[in-house]
Chain A
Amino acid sequence: MNKQLILDKVTVKYDALAAVSDATFSLAEGEIGCLLGPSGCGKTTLLRAIAGFESLSAGSISLHDEYISTPKRTKAPEDRAVGMVFQDFALFPHLNVRDNIGFGLSDFSSGEKTSRVLEMLELVGLVSVADRFPHELSGGQQQRVALARALAPSPQILLLDEPFSNLDAELRTQLAAEIRILLKKNKVTALLVTHDQDEAFAMADKIALLNAGKIVQIDTPYKLYHKPGSLFAADFIGKGTIINVGIDAAGLLGNNLGSLSINALPEDLGNTVKLLVRPDDIAYDESSDTKLPIVSKSFLGPNYLYELALKDGQRVPCLTHSHVDIPVGDELPVRFDLRHVVIFNPD
């Protein structure tokens, strides 16, 4: 498949400090990627490097088979066909919606420009507010203007820098889904930066997880959640607890947690492992003989999230229906459902 964007061993340094090192990542045409990670992990730096606002110390970035950034040469931001939606939208306060969207269309004749702006307004559903100024719009509308403005010159890739962080929590997931549909329909190659895994899951085909300036895993959302490749990934993605537990050659776990199937185990296994336990790995079972004392519980509406104590005092989460209402201090009968648990060698 034709690769639209290729990052090859990209390193960006601020003074001596590497904000991003050795990042390799690619996107196919029409694919939506995501750089996910905690704040300060270098994901925004990487995005700005693609836009041309940061220079590389090593590696290269190519877009549509053309090198746009190498340590020797950084193509000017205005000369690369990269669209960007900024975190605070960065709309031009002195221009109305129409002129904001038309700002990047200087190569168009005035007739083409008018029709392209109209097309964009229709695309994002803002025809009715075309003559308003940015400060007269709601947050969601501002974001759509920013999107339309970035898409208007038909960039080869669209970059979105934390595009939902300035919006209400309710709006976020809804907009993320809407934008995904819009981008897919128009076959736009896009790269999103976020620290919010829900946004990443809702938008992206492919997620690159970053930690401390390095890409630690590139996978689909499903694999990232169910097969985290490292302790960091396991900890960062989804809810869950990592416990230390003994294991014997037959795959039998300590703490009465049951056994794991041997062929799922890595070869060089010691006799203790770190085990990622998701809340849905431990199920409530009225008939079970295994009972664990309840340390705390929180009501989530449709569910209760219980925190249970194992024999050796380590704690594990358990998600039940909210009808299962047992007081703290009592015991909860559970069944271990460790089908897709993830284990790591302790390091």
Chain B
Amino acid sequence: MEIDSRSPGFNSSNQSSGRGWRTYLFIVTAIIAVPMLVIFASLLQPFSSAWQHLFDTVLTDYITNSLLLMAGVGVGTLVLGVSAAWLTAMCEFPGRKILSWAFLLPMAMPAYIIAYTYTGILDFSGPLQTALRDTYQWQYGDYYFPEIRSLGGAICMLSLVLYPYVYMLVRVAFLEQSTAVLEASRNLGKKPWQTLFLVALPMARPAIVAGVSLALMETLADYGTVAYFGVSSFTTGIFRTWYGLGELTTAAQLCAFLMLFVFALIIAERWSRQRLRFHHHSAQKKMVRLRLKGWRSALAISVGGLIVFLGFILPATQLAIWASVGWQENINGDFFRLLFNSFSLAAIAAICCLMVAVFLAYTKRAFASRMELGAVAVASLGYAVPGTVIAVGVLIPVAWLDNQIDFLSTTWFDYPTGLLISGTIGLLVFAYLVRFLSVALNTVDSGLTAIKPSIDESARSLGATPSRVLSRIHLPILRTSLLTALLLVFVEVLKELPTTLILRPFNFNTLAVRTYELASDERLVDAALPALAIVIIGLLPVLLITKSILNERFSNE
């Protein structure tokens, strides 16, 4: 990241415009930080009697379950992600190229969708158990079958769809490892497999930690899976405290405690990304992959294939089968309304995120001082904050504001306004902005670092006006990044469940909400159509990443 670029961007020719720009930056950051501040401020409020109740009953469950969930998903994503990365980056076997992009497919599958799909497959009345009973003439109770709707089941489901985070980062780490370092280990007398454990894996450790941290952030943010499986965790607890007990403050305080976990993960992730710098070698020779032969090759193909099969192919096929049942009736006006709602909401949110991201990225580039960088960093923390927490943090101040407006309006004009802002699309979009801004910001930012300040300066010295620099140099270079940012936010919004569930306007349904509702009502077959729509759209960013993976520099002729 370009931190040393103190030389300003094209827009800092005079002091006053710089100051105005900075003011906007701090206003934007402050507004984006409101939900977080509200959550932490809730700790200053008195702890109500509901806490005693929580303490006596479910709080221990929330904490132990969340910890167990994190431990399980941590191990699961670690094992799956690192093996997948090692197979495709360091080994050569038939099908390696296909697997290297197929390993990303589970990313398209939101956890709550894979959870209910597997429930359908593995339940008592599902195809697997039915087939077992028919084959062996078993009756109910004759045999043991693992219960998918459990903590263990949730760990499996989340691991199956979250390992790509580990896979992507570790794969790049393996590919970027200097060949010379691995050769140095051989030269000093270590066998290839010793080299893997003594050198390659330890060097990839920062990438592993960063990847697992991201997967765990998603785990903490997950609501759909744990709620559907009936596992009491922090997120389900927040929902229950709020909707069940009606204790908004207590819910906010629970959110604040959840954030402690989140911050631990943020610190782990940031720290390891810093370490990654030291582990990066630029000198590259042709990568020589370990050629697997015979049974080793067969093992690699079957392990890799099994991961992709369980994480994507099987659930996607099941969804397609369900969706094909009675699709004529299900594709109707309601379904198109659902599509329209989801798409327009996601598009609006994506455009808002992109605009703010472009503003922040340019500010960061122009004024690379500690203050501004700090502000931008605060604004981009949302990716780590669970949607449930953001929703609560958004709702509390807005409810207060609405009540004030209503009160004033009633006293002064004798006209009750009711809830003016709560339950509007605008508020929902704002929550998405807080949560997904960093997705857009990272993409725009990395595009922008490709344009060094010296490029601006050389264009200016060749007589280009600032606007010409923007249109002729920045836009063409940034175009791909901007489109990518739009697409990524669009898809994230489309998949997002808890934020939408809490903040959506009354009777406003999206694909994600409808899928979740139908699945909760055990209408698995009906839920398949909106779920399949989400999965198909979720494939778009996967294709995008795939493209960059296939363009990899490393070949093995």
Q: Helix, strand, loop or mixed for chain B's interface?
A: helix
**Given A78-B190, A106-B189; A92-B203 close (CB under 8 Å):** yes
Q: Give residues of chain A (74-121) contacting chain B, Cβ–Cβ below 8 Å.
A: 76-79, 82-84, 86-88, 90-95, 103-104, 106-107
A79 to B190, CA, bound (A): 8
Contact between A90 and B184 (Cβ–Cβ < 8 Å)?
yes
Known contacts: A78-B191, A93-B279, A153-B189. The answer to whether A84 contacts B202 by CB under 8 A is: no
Q: How far is the CB of B67 from chain A (nearest CB, A)?
A: 28
Given contacts A88-B283, A103-B188, A104-B189, contact A133 B278 (CB under 8 A): yes
Measured between beta carbons, the chain A residues less than 8 angstroms from B199 are: 92
Closest to A102 in B: B188
Chain A's closest residue to B280 (CB) is A93
The verdict on B205 contacting chain A, using a C-beta distance below 8 Å, is: yes
B residues 183-203 near A (Cβ < 8 Å) are 183-191, 198-199, 202-203
A299 contacts partner chain B, Cβ-Cβ < 8 Å: no
A278 at interface, CB cutoff 8 A: no
Q: Does B180 contact A (CB under 8 A)?
A: yes
Nearest CB of A to B185, in Å: 7
Chain A residue nearest in CB terms to B179: A90
B178 CB–A CB distance under 8 Å: yes
User: At the interface, yes or no: B181 with Cβ under 8 Å from chain A?
Assistant: yes
Per-residue contact bits, chain B 159-190, to A (CB 8 Å; 1 contact, 0 not): 00000000000000000001011011111111
A53 near B183: Cβ-Cβ < 8 Å: yes
Cα–Cα, bound, A77→B185 (Å): 9
B188 and A149 contact, CB distance less than 8 A: yes
> A9 within 8 Å of B by Cβ?
no
Contacts of A82 in B (CB 8 A): 187
Set A53, A93, A94, A153: member contacting B188, Cβ < 8 A: A153
Given the complex, which residues of A lie within 8 Å of B183, measured CB to CB? 51, 53, 77, 84, 86, 90
How far is it, in angstroms, between the C-alpha of A290 and the C-alpha of B184 when the chains are bound?
A: 59
Q: Verify if B240 is at the interface (C-beta below 8 Å from A).
A: no
Nearest A residue to B182 by beta-carbon distance? A90
- Which A residues are in CB contact (< 8 Å) with B198? 103
Q: How many residues of A contact B (CB 8 A)?
A: 29
A91 — which chain B residues lie within 8 A by C-beta?
Answer: 181, 184
Q: How many angstroms between the C-alpha atoms of A302 and B203 in the bound complex?
A: 50
Contact of A94 among B178, B180, B202, B281 (CB under 8 A): B202
Cβ–Cβ contact A88 & B187, under 8 A: no
Q: CB-CB contacts of A132-148 with B at 8 A, as 1s and 0s?
A: 01110000000000000
Chain A contact surface mostly? loop
From the candidates A78, A94, A95, A135, name the one contacting B187 in the complex (CB within 8 A).
Answer: A78
Closest B residue to A133 by beta carbon equals B278
A83 and B183 CA atoms in complex are apart in Å by 11
B185: chain A residues at CB < 8 Å are 92, 103
Name the contact of B186 in the complex, choosing from A76, A83, A88, A92 (C-beta under 8 A): A76
Closest to B191 in A: A78
Kindly list chain A residues whose C-beta atoms are within 8 Å of the C-beta of B184: 84, 86, 90-92, 149
Q: Is the CB of B187 within 8 A of A87?
A: no
Whether A90 pairs with B188 at a CB distance below 8 angstroms is no
CB B275 to nearest CB in A, in angstroms, measures 9
Enumerate chain B residues within 8 angstroms of A53, measured Cβ to Cβ: 183, 186
- Are B191 and A88 touching (Cβ within 8 A)? no
Q: Assuming A77-B183, A88-B178, is B189 touching A94 (CB within 8 A)?
A: no
Min distance, Cβ A343 to any Cβ of chain B, angstroms: 42
Report whether B189 and A78 are in contact in the complex, using a CB–CB cutoff of 8 Å: yes
Closest to B277 in A: A135
**Nearest 10 pairs between A and B by C-beta?**
A104-B188, A90-B180, A135-B278, A77-B186, A90-B184, A88-B283, A86-B180, A94-B202, A90-B181, A93-B279
> What are 26 A-B interface contacts by the 8 Å CB criterion?
A51-B183, A51-B187, A52-B186, A53-B183, A77-B187, A78-B186, A82-B187, A84-B183, A86-B180, A86-B183, A90-B178, A90-B181, A90-B183, A90-B184, A92-B185, A92-B199, A92-B203, A94-B205, A103-B198, A104-B187, A104-B189, A106-B190, A134-B278, A135-B278, A149-B184, A149-B188
**Interface residue ranges, B against A (CB under 8 Å):** 178, 180-181, 183-191, 198-199, 202-203, 205, 278-279, 281, 283
Please give 8 more A-B residue pairs, beta carbons under 8 A apart, in addition to A86-B180, A153-B188. A77-B187, A84-B187, A86-B183, A86-B184, A90-B183, A91-B181, A103-B188, A104-B187
